[in-house]
Chains A and B, each alone.
Chain A
Amino acid sequence: MRIEAKHLTYIYGPGLPWEKRALSDVSFSIESGEFIGLIGETGSGKSTLVQILNGLLRPTEGTILLDGSDISNRKVDLHRIRAQVGLVFQFPEQQLFAETVADDVAFGPKNLGVPKEEIGKRVDEALLKVGLRPQSLRDRSPFTLSGGEKRLVSIAGVLAMRPKVLILDEVTAGLDPKGKKEILARIQLLHRVEKATIILVSHDMDEIALLSQRILILKEGKLILEGSPVEIFTRAQDVRSAGLDLPTLPRILSDLRCRGFQLPTAIFEVGEAARWIRKELFRAAD
């Protein structure tokens, strides 16, 4: 699904004393099947933007086109939008409520009016997509699962609505390294195998650099930078001025550059960085 945002502005509590302009004049487009990384410091408007894309908030100004049709129009049925653009909130496991995992995952499709026979199929399919075994999990209470599993189940709850675009707001926050790795691997599979369009919101630059094809950077509600990870993290100065840090390797490499090494900074893999550094050391020797 192609997403086109034109001049989006969002104001919380317009006209009130605590009026807050969370987004101003943001325009971008996302092609079908892309993996987008959305970053920006705290309060830069990332969550506001994804809630607009999901149809939870109506933009104060501007338009959003999903496959060419305008969803900011008041006549559009927002429930249909929410099914097409799935949003996984931060700490989604806090929204689990049903007695069994299957019931919880079924909540979305049931609300969409999917026929009963199909719901069971969708539940199993969604659980498999996040790497959980439906047979052993279906009838367990979601509250007895581990933190990582709970999170996977809640992602399955969104996938069961069969969205064409999946938005994940800080999906690895608070997990242990193993849980993080697992979730990221699943998301990468969804992107590669299912050809899902993915928007990943994160504070973890390493994660963003490794996974995204294109990065959008927000600062104080404005879209200030846009490009591939290599393009973005080569511009270390701009990234830092947005209140963000570089991923770990580019940070080391840019420190080395400051000390006279001639190296590219946008490298995200340890082995490759080591090769570049070695080459540079021996180039100096020749």
Chain B
Amino acid sequence: MYPETRSCTVWKLLFPAEGQPLWQWWIFRITDLGIWKACFMSLRLALLVFVTTLLTLVTSPMDLTDALDRLFSFLKVLRIPVHEIAMMMTIALRFIPTLLEETDKIIKAQISRGAPLDRGNIFRRMRGFVSVLIPLFVSAFRRADELAQAMEARCYRGGEGRTRLKEMRLSSEDLWATALALLFCAGTLAFNWMPYRWL
């Protein structure tokens, strides 16, 4: 399990708000409700991680943004630039690996110039971070500039009159999946209203 999940659960376990105390030492107290809540919390977090991982594993980020573009296109009536936002997300996704690589390189370069990125007090470290952040921004702006030029040179002029390579069509599987998801949500809500004692 992920370390964040674990520490969060431990917190719930050691500092419960209510319930019958089972064991107590100094400020730590373990109660029945505390144990229940801790289990619940860890399950919830595990589920969250599981579902998002599943989503990113089975759906490409590009498909996701395309879907958002389509799904929210009705907002265009309200003059919300849906296409532009989706395009921004696509570009962000495309550049994340590039920028990560670049960050790694800049950090290495500044460390090799003795930048206090891994030692010294907080002020020294801050100065070290400035030496990484500024080059990163400069390069990100330059990239943005060049990319805009490259996009314009390829006749990009916003969402109007664009066709798409990838076709998106609602199939029966999609309907089933949606129905299942809705059922699941309804179930979760129903569970939430039930008091713990019923279980």
Q: Is the CB of A107 within 8 A of B138?
A: no
Q: Give the residues from 2 to 60 in chain B that come closer than 8 angstroms, CB to CB, to chain A.
A: none
Kindly specify which of B67-75, B93-101, B108-116 makes contact with the partner chain: B108-116
Q: Is the CB of B115 within 8 A of A89?
A: no
Contacts of A54 in B (CB 8 A): 112
Closest to A55 in B: B112
Interface on chain B toward A: helix, strand, loop, or mixed SS? helix
| Bound-state Cα–Cα, A41 to B135, Å | 28
Q: Is the CB of B113 within 8 A of A97?
A: no
Contacts of A87 in B (CB 8 A): 112
Q: Is the CB of A112 within 8 A of B114?
A: yes
Number of A-B contacts (CB under 8 A): 55
Q: Give the residues from 74 to 131 in chain A that come closer than 8 angstroms, CB to CB, to chain B.
A: 79, 82-83, 86-87, 89, 92, 94-98, 107-108, 111-112
Q: Is the CB of A97 within 8 A of B112?
A: no
Contacts of B130 in A (CB 8 A): 97
Contacts of A111 in B (CB 8 A): 113-116
Does A268 sit within 8 A of B, measured CB to CB? no
Taking the closest CB of chain A, its distance from the CB of B128, in whole angstroms, is: 8
Residues of B in contact (CB 8 Å), total 18
Residues of A in contact (CB 8 Å), total 24
Chain A positions 213 through 237: 1 when the CB is less than 8 Å from some CB of chain B, otherwise 0: 0000000000000000000000000
Taking the closest CB of chain B, its distance from the CB of A64, in whole angstroms, is: 15
Q: Is the CB of B106 within 8 A of A94?
A: yes
Taking the closest CB of chain B, its distance from the CB of A239, in whole angstroms, is: 29
Taking the closest CB of chain A, its distance from the CB of B18, in whole angstroms, is: 44
8 contacts between A and B (CB under 8 A): A83-B114, A89-B108, A95-B106, A95-B110, A96-B135, A112-B114, A158-B113, A161-B113
Chain A residues in the interface with B (C-beta under 8 A): 51, 54-56, 79, 82-83, 86-87, 89, 92, 94-98, 107-108, 111-112, 143, 157-158, 161
Starting from the known contacts A56-B111, A82-B113, 18 additional A-B residue pairs (CB-CB under 8 Å) come to: A51-B108, A82-B111, A82-B114, A83-B114, A87-B112, A89-B109, A89-B112, A92-B109, A94-B105, A94-B109, A95-B109, A95-B113, A96-B135, A97-B135, A98-B131, A107-B113, A108-B114, A111-B114
